[in-house]
Structure 1
């Protein structure tokens, strides 16, 4: 069962999200919050697997709450930012804060449910429009020498896995495409993170586009 915390300052949206998620057999909403500070309190009390976090909330906003939550130990919640604002600077701030997803509130409900499952499994989820803009943004940046050196450390198979990560594929999808077991893919992902000095899949995606490995 995936335990979820829903944080949004609008009652209708918060209750609507909770209702949608509670109807899933594998998802349970363990708490809701209307402010960033309340989200932090509820997360520390209920230890959700995934937190849906609005950005614009009274007092402590969703970005600051995300930073603080993900600095907690042990095993902090995974955060998916869900907002009506798709400004590039907010996306970058959210990802740098450690968020595992950035979704717009107009997405279909099934995509929201799928995103929660994917993030819980360790994957990254971004709205398609956001992904396109981030790709364009990264293409304007030149790869640093240390990045190219790190790229050369990857084996041919690791490079293939990284390309698929950059395309937004989950471990299960990568396993199916490369005819590998999911545990083997997880091993490759762990090695790639170490070889390129990345913290998570978000940084792997950026690295892939910076170095030209992803097109």
Structure 2
């Protein structure tokens, strides 16, 4: 039996996918979550084989942040990204951060089931609509040499702070949300600006928007 946790901020999506998966003789949805924080907690609690994780889950923690945390701390759970975004930047970022698959929400039921079984068995599943982007990016990197993804040079904590700072939260508010000191937040923000070579708050906001780190 493949144990599954579903994380999506829309209850109708969680219910719909739960029905599809629970109908299979070899699958069982053991829990559902509404954001990245809850996804982490329920994954730690239930230790599922597969986590279906949505990328955009406002106002809670997004799947972009949760992917790296869950992969690092709970590596036995395979992460299958479930999203509406057929965007190659999303695809490459989550794969670099430990996701085992990437499937679009409008995919047929049969594709969803295939994706779950593929990542469960140790494989990688990429939505057919995204494979062309993957091949093109690989060819480009082979020809030009690998260029560092700006997000990949940030730590997990910096990836938490960046979108909060871009949304306008003050240092004290960020510190309270992340249970750290104000000085820690200030130090991380300085590091973020230095690593990304940003000079001002508007540049930080622009970067976060381009990288789709803001869910309004």
Matches within 5 A, 1:60-209: 60-73=61-74, 75-142=75-142
Q: Is the 8 A contact 1:7 1:35 kept in 2?
A: yes
1:129-164 deviation digits (Å, cap 9, x = unpaired)? 21111101211223699xxxxxxxxxxxxxxxxxxx
Note if 1:17 corresponds to 2:47.
no
Q: Which runs of no fewer than 5 residues in structure 1 stay unpaired?
A: 146-215
Q: How many residues align?
A: 144
Q: Is the 8 A contact 1:78 1:120 kept in 2?
A: yes
Shift of 1:66: 1.1
Query: Could you say what secondary structure the match of 2:138 adopts?
Result: helix
Query: Could you say what secondary structure the match of 2:86 adopts?
Result: coil
User: In the alignment, which residue of structure 1 is the partner of 2:37?
Assistant: 37
1:28-83 deviation digits (Å, cap 9, x = unpaired)? 0010001110000100000000000000012211021111011115x431000010
Query: Could you say what secondary structure the match of 1:53 adopts?
Result: strand
Q: Which runs of no fewer than 5 residues in structure 2 stay unpaired?
A: 146-216
TM (normalized to structure 1)?
A: 0.64
Shift of 1:105: 0.6
Find runs of 4+ consecutive structure 1 residues off by over 2 angstroms: 141-145
